[in-house]
Amino acid sequence: MSSISDLHESAILHNLQLRYSREVIYTSIGSILCAVNPYHNIPGLYDPQQMDAYKGTRLGDRPPHIYAIANEAYTAMSRMDKNQCLLISGESGAGKTESTKFILSFLTYLSHGANTTGASAKVEAAIQQSGPVLEAFGNAKTIHNDNSSRFGKYIQLYFNQESGNMVAGLITDYLLEKNRVSKQNPGERNFHIFYEFLRGCDEEDRDRFQLGDRDSNNFYYLNQGGSSSKVNGKNDAEDFKSVLEGLKVIHVAKTEIQDLLSVLAAVLHLGNVKFFTSGGAQVSNPEVLSFTASLLGVNEKDLSAALTHKFRLLRGEEISTPLTVSQAEDSRDSVSMALYLTTFKWINFKINQRISKKMQQNKMLSIGILDIFGFESFGLNHFEQFNINYANEKLQEYFNKHIFSLEQHEYSKEGIDWEDIEWQDNSECLDLIEQRLGVVSLMNEESNLPNGQDSTLAEKLHSSNEHNAFYIRPRLNMLQFGIRHYAGEVVYEIQGMVEKNRDLFREDLHKLMKSSTSEFIYERFLQYGIEHRPGGGVTKKRSFRQQVTRSSTARQTTVTTQFRDSLRALMASLNAAHPYFVRCIKPNTQKLPDKFEHRTVLNQLRYSGMMETVRIRKAGYPVRRDQQMFIERFYVLAKVVTGSSLKLPIEDPSDTIRQLLKEYDPDNKLWQIGTSKVFLKEQLENKLEAERDLAYRAYINIIASYIYTFVLRRRFLKTRRAAVLIQAHVRRQIAMRRFTQMRNSAISLQKFTRGFLARKLYVELLRRKREEEERKKREEEEKERKRREELLKLEMENKKREAQLLKKQLEEEEARKVLVSIFLCCYTVDIVLFICI
């Protein structure tokens, strides 16, 4: 934008509108990025290809983008060896929260590509997943914004200097708008988490927590905004799943998640407790009170008594005072807000516990991302809007200091030819707020008085500041006061400021919560009012247990005092880092896409100082370097330009620098040389950096060629040695193979020879064997013949003897037969004779 030739408001506004109509929402003013909210998704604007395209580039090499400013902060952190910070500012609904998400995603992407270790990956995942959790518990729908941050946060990402890995993180929260838990304006919602819990919990939790038909109109704390319970483009049920997943990533145990859901349910049901008047306030729906008491882990009668009566000690005796219905409702809301606030602080502590890591500070650099509530001006502005706008005044002062005051002072100190540019200084407005007898001082004074009242505060404010040019005293309503902020006039309601500034939680309610049987609620209220106060985050140096054990009798300071101290600590952190600014602009007040309202945008450009910023960036020299550091960085160019050998350090480098710069800008329009520094336009620095890169690339190529020669020769020698070794092994293998073949051939020849001789011997032996067998056979046959002859002879003799024996037997048989015949005849004769006789 600073390159516009005809520089005036209309030209700047036309440039923004022209780019917006082409869906080019980012415009750069040097290192300051202007982002116009498109109110719709632009395809391909944030995809991984865009991340690849902007990774490692210099600012200005590519079109303006949120990734470009994040990449510049990341590379400058290593180049400058200094912490960096990104300040995202703008009105509510301008897109600050979304810009923070994109920056976190890109820095995580850069870290993930830098040799990410397992521990770094876990830290990156925890930081990424903590976003939906904090968004659910800290964001809500307002009139101006469907996803408005109702708290401020400063995210510090710590990187290892050597590797560039993201190794740790710390999130500090500021001033949660806890009053939103109990009260919302028409058209607004409570915190997102209540609707996500109501619509996203499972059936078991729905029945256990008695959430009915999941209708937000059934709960008093959710139905005050009218028909605004749903947000376009937001799926509460799906977002609740993301919250549960995020809680697991930051190591919240399942039991703790259930305790967390119990607190949310308790807050919803506590808001439904109603009262009526009967000798003081009485609970009209005891069944709701009974269930709420069971969720809180306290006695039902004790809870009823604490809500409808005020107990205090007077001379050692406890006195009970009945409360009115209005006072009872305030007590109920006070408990609800305390429950939610302590839970929110605990969640932030769990996130820090997960992403923090002990490491030597000299090995870490950080990038801080400030996402804080935008400037607010409603029909009725209360204590919360005062603190929010106070914080924005401080940030505008920081912006003015770095962009205008310090820059012009440095031009004057260095003797640069320069004509001062007028700009809107808000230091007097901050004096009105911070100085003695200022708004904060008088508010604290009245809040510390036992009988301090809003009306007394109004009188003090009017009498002390009515002549201040930045103070507005209304003519009709005395319980109002106004301040002319850098962004416009805002009138604040004094009613309730003293009580909200005290932020006292009644001792009897505190004791009741500490009597809870729920360990989760008990621990939350042990430290309530001690460490977890509005405006301050969880202390970094003490553990959560150490915070819990501190005495609850510690003196409680006011909200504005703690918030002021937190802002001072934040400013100290920002002053120790090199800043980059992202100015978010909303193109219209209706949150509609493709609608550009000139007056709305112009007002934001005016009060944010963007007009003066464009002028000073166009006329000024945003790049300034110490002369010795400049000549050291561009030594290679100076050596070429001067044509002589330079030896560092140079006693008076101004002549050499002048000769170098004239080579690249003969007209002297883009640079000036001061007493100790060199002042450059960004385009000249980019040109010098590009030439330096080319020169170094040429030297690198020469060095690389020698290195390549050395590497290739070494590789060749190694390859040759390997080849010779391989050849030796191959020859050995060939010789071994040939020897083996010859040996095998000899063995085969020997085998066949031995076989032949063996067969010949075998045949001879076989012949001899056959002859022997034949001889033996003949001998056997001869013996057999003789034996047969003898047997035959014997057989003939035997036959002969047998014949003789048979003949003899026959003869004997014949004789026996004769004798038998004779015997038979004689016997027959005898028988006959006997018969005859």
299 given a catalytic annotation: no
For 322, phi then psi, to 5°, come to -65, 145
The residue from 28, 75, 111, 145 that is catalytic is: 145
Instruction: State both tokens at 109.
Output: 């992407």
From residue 409, alpha-carbon distances to 138, 201, 402, 608, 669 in Å are: 40, 58, 10, 21, 20
Q: Which amino acid is at 524?
A: R
Distance between CA atoms of residues 395 and 270, nearest Å: 38
Contact 78, 41 (CB under 8 A): no
Distance between CA atoms of residues 64 and 33, nearest Å: 7
Instruction: State both tokens at 754.
Output: 């031995």
Name residues whose C-beta falls within 8 Å of residue 41's C-beta, 6 or more positions apart in sequence: none
The residue from 27, 71, 83, 92 that is catalytic is: 92
Name residue 116's beta-bridge partners: none
Distance between CA atoms of residues 802 and 806, nearest Å: 6
Distance between CA atoms of residues 299 and 280, nearest Å: 21
The residue from 28, 108, 148, 560 that is catalytic is: 148
Distance between CA atoms of residues 226 and 219, nearest Å: 12
Q: Where are the beta strands (DSSP E) in 102-175?
A: 139-140, 148-149, 152-160, 166-174
Instruction: State both tokens at 281.
Output: 């306030």
93 given a catalytic annotation: yes
145 given a catalytic annotation: yes
Q: Which of 704, 665, 667 is nearest to 686 (CA)?
A: 665
Q: Which amino acid is at 766?
A: L
212 given a catalytic annotation: no
The residue from 188, 376, 682, 685 that is catalytic is: 376
The residue from 105, 139, 149, 557 that is catalytic is: 149
Distance between CA atoms of residues 366 and 194, nearest Å: 34
Contact 283, 308 (CB under 8 A): yes
Checking 539-545 for CB contacts under 8 A at 24+ apart, the result is 540/170, 540/352, 540/356, 544/349, 544/353
Distance between CA atoms of residues 716 and 723, nearest Å: 10
* DSSP state for residue 419 in the 8-state scheme: -
Distance between CA atoms of residues 675 and 679, nearest Å: 11
148 given a catalytic annotation: yes
Q: Which of 69, 102, 101, 98 is nearest to 86 (CA)?
A: 69
The residue from 374, 438, 536, 609 that is catalytic is: 374
Q: Which amino acid is at 315?
A: R
Answer positive or negative: Cα dihedral of 51, 52, 56, 57. Answer: negative
From residue 35, alpha-carbon distances to 49, 280, 600, 676, 719 in Å are: 20, 55, 14, 36, 59
The number of residues making up the chain comes to: 837
Name residues whose C-beta falls within 8 Å of residue 638's C-beta, 6 or more positions apart in sequence: 631, 646, 656, 657, 659, 660
What is the b/e burial string over 763-786, where b = at least 16 CB atoms within 10 angstroms of the residue's CB? eeeeeeeeeeeeeeeeeeeeeeee
Distance between CA atoms of residues 214 and 666, nearest Å: 73
376 given a catalytic annotation: yes
Name residues whose C-beta falls within 8 Å of residue 43's C-beta, 6 or more positions apart in sequence: none
Active site residues: 92-93, 97, 145, 148-149, 374, 376
